[in-house]
Amino acid sequence: MNAFWIILTGSLVATCCSLLGCYLILRRMAMVGDAISHAVLPGIVIAFLLTGSRESLPMLIGAGLFGVLTTFIIEFFHRYARVQADASIGVTFTWLFAIGIILLSVFAGQVDLDQDCVLYGEIAYVPLDLWITDGGLSLGPNTVWSLGFVTLLVLLYIVVGYKELFITAFDPAYAAAIGVSTSAWYYSLMSAVSLTTVASFESVGAILVVALLVGPPATAYLLTDNFKTMLLLSVLAGVVASVVGYYLAVWVDGSIAGAIATFIGFEFLLALLFSPARGLWRRHRQLQPVQH
């Protein structure tokens, strides 16, 4: 049963991250998830200082607020300071992460926190945190319920705003011309990414969240030119990586998150080599001289 809960958790995170990652890939902002996962550290420390509690809710609220703040700062640097998007991401997340490190060092005697407990989750521990009712009935891991709720929110968000998200990602100028608010949809997308990142990294770890935000969408991008197909292939690649990665970790007796991320890299390599549209093997065949 533990294997089921771990694979289900990985699949839920893969679904959320892969769907949102497709939009980040198209916007050339794939590393926003990495920025958010590090930039939320000051929010976690401040939440602890204000509440004196290490419960998940205040931690998530503090992290979530700083996740949204991160996206605002990135967009401010990019739009008003005319800094390139990748530079804006790099400056913002290193700055906020450094502030978090300073807060940890200054309040080290009062704050029982470290990088391991706020940044590097462990998916193998998911089955241990069970939701048990007053009657003693086990409803499964708390993480599965919270991630399931986030997954439903992300799916609803994409279904309701599909057209607007599609237009603003592919042609912002056209979107503005027909009256679609590019800023509003940008911030809503970044808020969704922030929510997903914060909800996921405590259970599966920041590294796996970033891998799922970038790897499956990049793989799907190589395989198709149809965006709806890209969304479906991205989710499929993420779920397959969660399943195969778990059993690979069991086989080698290693890190589950590491095995999943490794298989994501393997999927991308296969797509890079053998994609019908953009594969290196196809290009190599096309460059071969015709034999008469």
Residue 223 has pLDDT above 80, yes or no: yes
Residue predicted with more confidence, 58 or 9: 9
Run of H or E including 140 = strand 138-141
Position 78 scores a pLDDT of 79
Residue 69 has pLDDT above 90, yes or no: no
Residue predicted with more confidence, 257 or 281: 257
Residue predicted with more confidence, 19 or 65: 19
- Report CA 55 to chain centroid distance, whole Å: 22
The whole-angstrom separation of Cα 32 and Cα 71 is: 8
Position 279 scores a pLDDT of 67
Position 68 scores a pLDDT of 82
The whole-angstrom separation of Cα 42 and Cα 137 is: 37
Nearest to 117 by CA among 32, 55, 36: 55
Share above pLDDT 70 across residues of the chain, in percent, rounded to a whole number: 88
The whole-angstrom separation of Cα 236 and Cα 242 is: 10
How confident is the model over 103-138, as pLDDT tens digits? 877 775 555 554 554 555 577 777 777 777 777 777
Token duo for residue 292: 């008469």
The whole-angstrom separation of Cα 82 and Cα 63 is: 27
What residue spans of the chain are helical by DSSP H? 2-26, 32-39, 41-51, 56-79, 85-106, 115-119, 142-160, 162-170, 172-177, 182-204, 206-223, 227-252, 256-274, 280-287
Residue 144 has pLDDT above 70, yes or no: yes
The whole-angstrom separation of Cα 199 and Cα 147 is: 7
pTM above 0.75, yes or no: yes
Q: Assign 243 a pLDDT band (cuts: 50, 70, 90).
A: very high
**Which domains are delineated in the chain?**
2-205 (1.10.3470.10)
Q: Assign 283 a pLDDT band (cuts: 50, 70, 90).
A: low
Position 55 scores a pLDDT of 66
Q: 50 has which bridge partners?
A: none
Position 111 scores a pLDDT of 53
Residue 274: Cβ-neighbour burial (10 angstroms; 0-12, 13-18, 19+):
middle
Average pLDDT value for residue range 71-94: 82
Position 266 scores a pLDDT of 92
Q: Assign 240 a pLDDT band (cuts: 50, 70, 90).
A: very high
Amino acid at 290: V
Nearest to 126 by CA among 247, 10, 250: 10
Average pLDDT value for residue range 188-203: 81
Average pLDDT of the chain to the nearest whole number: 81
List, as one string, the DSSP characters of 160-198.
HTHHHHHHHHH-HHHHHHTT--HHHHHHHHHHHHHHHHH
Average pLDDT value for residue range 180-197: 84
Chain position carrying tokens 């797509």: 271
Q: 138 has which bridge partners?
A: 132
Average pLDDT value for residue range 45-74: 78
